[in-house]
């Protein structure tokens, strides 16, 4: 049943304890400490979390100290050799002539545990450790963005922690092979090494954000027996999938390879090692990206992109669990990496959960960054409720079960926050019990209010054209909640051999103030949706099946929805076949929304943020 009032009521620990089942954790006070049991997510606001800090902490400190080493950070650094075929170039070639062979740089930290006790390993793998252009510390220093929090909170509970540099970055040699085969082999070698050490219990979990959130998907492709769980935070299920959406190219796509990451691994002080960047994929990466833009992602060397698509091999080979963390407002890694991916994982029998709030490219427990990066329509309406100070405790419970193989199984709730700050629990997302609402463009439900000629050529770097078509719904007489993946199916007639459509959905008040709630983009050569490329014949009407990026929205009473159509927007480039189009508004073109079934949902509030930035709100 619907339970909006629950979080605001005061419950004693005894009351909460009565409600527990074997799938929950409750922290019950005794004379000495807090004893670990289970509590539902909607009762966590009653638990004594520290909500004043810059990030989250576990409820109870673990009993193990860090194992001291010779350096000030108590880390151990090693180089792990691994094999690459000579066709990979770089270090594979130098190795064949008796010079440097492929090696991965790894640092790790261990808890001081009794002799004979083996511990699992949590590892973060990425390209940023010790890179001057990234401004990050040496790999033997715990990363302030994630590593420090894990060492402070999880290591004392009996976990080792490791950081690894992908190939061609930090002290790892070979090429910076942007998520390609050489990088994947190095990642797998690191997982194998961590799982086979005499101090390891053989269980490895991976965690990280952005690029470091993509390496867990790469590792999971191998189905390695040691990899038990992954926690990708704003991670990629594929490289092409990041930079092209329905054929439309992000502005960074042609430059992502050498301009963004190409400098990693280079140094004026190590010219000999720089020679190891002579790898085919590294050298041809920018060409693949440029061709991908010209041909709308249908670039002729498809093997390059296929090598960098991970989800299909994860579904085929991986036997572990997945905990996805994703921001609805992420400008860097769009939420379609998480939705509907979570449903796909569940359909294939993979144990999975999702935590999705209204933050951008960030962690879920950072009150200062979340505030700084939230603007109207881009998360600010959900702050400070978006701050999840129970997250580190959630990770402890997750890793305890999947890596230490003890304790009750953690809940697999899909936790969703809408744009007005409300949190609720779903079993799947998009939810399977939503009500579909269709509105025809130009009808009384979605009336045409303004228009201009669409299709004026837009030059790279401009946000959008001034040409538009705008539709509006009636004013809602009660709160309207919808979410998931809204669809916009349009009958359009391109006047040239291509064209594109950008759809912007906004929430508008009675005073005419509008905020962003969602958007969609499509190169019309992909009008069927997905990855199927079609040639466009000028003057022939086609059905453009657009799908919005994942959103979860509450339209307040007295507001309405405004839908604006342009040819390009956000940070996307116009297609190489830009052309004017005509849109049919005779009733065939429809906007499809999925209303949330609030009568069958548990709404909840997270622990209240008492950080300075939250209080100032």
Please report the pLDDT score of residue 215 as a whole number.
98
Bridge partners of residue 590, in order along the sequence: 440, 489
Dihedral sign from CA coordinates of 195, 196, 197, 200: positive
For residue 542, give the 3-state DSSP assignment: strand
Bridge partners of residue 555, in order along the sequence: 480
CA atoms within 13 A on the CB side of 336: 19
The pTM is what?
A: 0.90
Cα–Cα separations (whole angstroms), residue 470 to 329, 441, 491, 557: 23, 10, 16, 21
Please report the pLDDT score of residue 570 as a whole number.
79
Mean pLDDT rounded to a whole number for the chain: 86
For residue 444, give the 3-state DSSP assignment: coil
CA atoms within 13 A on the CB side of 454: 29
Please report the pLDDT score of residue 142 as a whole number.
95
> How far from the centroid of its chain's Cα atoms is residue 504's Cα?
22
Please report the pLDDT score of residue 605 as a whole number.
96
Please report the pLDDT score of residue 26 as a whole number.
41
For residue 35, give the 3-state DSSP assignment: strand
- In tens, the pLDDT along 331-355 reads 899 999 999 999 999 999 999 999 9
Cα–Cα separations (whole angstroms), residue 63 to 117, 151, 153, 492, 542: 14, 13, 11, 65, 65
Distance CA 15, CA 589 (A): 53
Determine how β-strand 500-508 pairs with β-strand 603-604: unpaired
Distance CA 587, CA 446 (A): 10
Dihedral sign from CA coordinates of 322, 327, 332, 338: positive
Cα–Cα separations (whole angstroms), residue 442 to 434, 451, 509, 522, 592: 25, 12, 21, 21, 14
List b or e across 486-499, with b for residues whose CB sees 16 or more CB atoms inside 10 angstroms: bbbbbbbebeebbb
In sequence order, the 6+-apart residues with CB closer than 8 A to the CB of 534 are 525, 526, 527, 528, 542
Please report the pLDDT score of residue 248 as a whole number.
77
Neighbours of 69 (CB within 10 A): 15
The answer to whether residues 558 and 509 touch, using CB atoms and an 8 Å cutoff, is yes
Place of tokens 């390891």: 200
Nearest to 388 by CA among 337, 462, 326, 445: 326
Place of tokens 């014949």: 537
* Phi, psi of 495, deg, nearest 5: -95, 0
What domains does the chain contain, in order, with CATH numbers?
76-426 (3.40.50.1820), 435-596 (2.60.120.260)
The answer to whether residues 79 and 104 touch, using CB atoms and an 8 Å cutoff, is yes
The answer to whether residues 554 and 420 touch, using CB atoms and an 8 Å cutoff, is yes
Angle at 384 between CA 383 and CA 388, to 5 degrees: 115
**Tokens (6 digits) for 496:** 């040239």
Dihedral sign from CA coordinates of 260, 262, 264, 268: negative
Please report the pLDDT score of residue 20 as a whole number.
35
**Tokens (6 digits) for 358:** 């209204």
Nearest to 122 by CA among 142, 105, 91, 147: 147
- In tens, the pLDDT along 1-27 reads 333 332 333 233 333 333 333 333 444
**Where is 306: in which H helix or E strand?**
helix 302-306
Q: Over the chain (617 residues), what is each successive 10-residue block's mean pLDDT?
A: 32 34 38 52 92 96 97 97 94 91 97 97 95 82 94 98 95 91 97 98 98 98 98 95 79 63 55 60 64 55 83 98 98 93 97 98 97 96 98 96 94 95 96 96 90 43 54 97 97 90 96 96 89 88 95 98 90 80 88 94 95 87
């Amino acid at each position: 049943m619907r339970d909006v009032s629950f979080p605001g009521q005061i419950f004693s620990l005894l009351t909460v304890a009565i409600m527990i089942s074997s799938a929950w954790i409750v922290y019950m006070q005794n004379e000495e400490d807090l004893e670990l049991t289970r509590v539902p997510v909607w009762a966590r606001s009653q638990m004594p979390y520290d909500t004043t800090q810059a990030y989250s902490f576990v409820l109870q400190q673990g009993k193990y100290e860090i194992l001291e080493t010779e350096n000030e950070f108590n880390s151990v650094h090693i180089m792990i050799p691994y094999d690459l075929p000579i066709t990979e170039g770089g270090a594979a070639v130098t190795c064949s002539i008796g010079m440097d062979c492929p090696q991965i740089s790894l640092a790790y930290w261990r808890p001081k545990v009794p002799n004979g006790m083996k511990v699992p390993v949590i590892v973060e793998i990425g390209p940023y450790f010790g890179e001057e252009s990234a401004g990050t510390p040496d790999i033997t220093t715990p990363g302030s963005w994630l590593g420090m929090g894990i060492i402070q909170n999880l290591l004392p509970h009996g976990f080792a922690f490791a950081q690894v540099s992908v190939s061609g970055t930090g002290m790892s040699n070979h090429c910076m092979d942007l998520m390609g085969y050489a990088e994947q082999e190095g990642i797998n070698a690191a997982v194998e090494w961590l799982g086979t050490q005499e101090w390891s219990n053989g269980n490895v979990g991976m965690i990280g954000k952005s690029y470091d959130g993509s390496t867990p998907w790469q590792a999971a492709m191998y189905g390695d027996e040691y990899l038990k769980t992954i926690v990708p935070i704003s991670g990629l299920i594929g490289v092409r999938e990041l930079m092209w959406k329905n054929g439309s190219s992000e502005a960074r796509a042609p430059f992502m390879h050498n301009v963004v990451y190409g400098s990693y691994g280079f140094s004026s002080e190590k010219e000999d090692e720089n020679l190891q960047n002579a790898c085919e994929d590294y050298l041809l990466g920018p060409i693949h990206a440029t061709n991908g833009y010209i041909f709308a992602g249908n670039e002729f060397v498809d093997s390059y992109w296929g090598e960098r698509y991970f989800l299909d091999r994860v579904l085929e080979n991986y036997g572990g669990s997945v905990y996805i963390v994703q921001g609805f407002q992420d400008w860097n890694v769009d939420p379609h990496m998480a939705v509907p991916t979570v449903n796909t994982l569940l359909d294939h029998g993979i144990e999975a959960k999702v935590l999705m709030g209204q933050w951008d490219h960030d962690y879920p427990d950072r009150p200062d960054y979340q505030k700084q990066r939230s603007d109207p329509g881009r998360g600010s309406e959900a702050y400070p409720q978006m701050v999840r100070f129970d997250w580190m405790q959630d990770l402890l419970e997750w890793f305890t079960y999947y890596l230490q193989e003890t304790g009750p199984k953690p809940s697999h709730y899909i936790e969703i926050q809408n744009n007005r700050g409300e949190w609720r629990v779903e079993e799947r997302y998009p939810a399977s019990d939503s009500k579909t609402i269709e509105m025809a463009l130009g009808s009384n439900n979605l009336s045409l209010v303004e228009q201009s000629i669409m299709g004026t050529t837009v030059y790279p770097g401009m946000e959008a054209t001034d040409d538009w078509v705008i539709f509006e719904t009636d004013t809602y007489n009660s709160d309207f909640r919808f979410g998931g993946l809204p669809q916009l199916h349009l009958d359009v007639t391109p006047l040239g051999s291509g064209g594109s459509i950008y759809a912007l959905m906004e929430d508008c008040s009675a005073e005419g103030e509008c905020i962003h709630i969602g958007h969609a983009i499509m190169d019309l050569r992909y009008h069927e949706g997905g990855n199927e490329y079609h040639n466009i014949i000028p003057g022939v009407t086609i059905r453009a099946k657009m799908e919005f990026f994942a959103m979860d929205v509450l339209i307040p009473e007295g507001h309405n929805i405004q839908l604006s159509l342009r040819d390009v927007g956000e940070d996307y480039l116009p297609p190489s076949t830009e052309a004017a189009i005509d849109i049919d508004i005779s009733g065939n073109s429809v906007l499809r929304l999925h209303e949330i079934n609030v009568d069958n949902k548990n709404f909840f509030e997270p622990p209240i943020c008492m950080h300075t930035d939250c209080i100032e709100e």
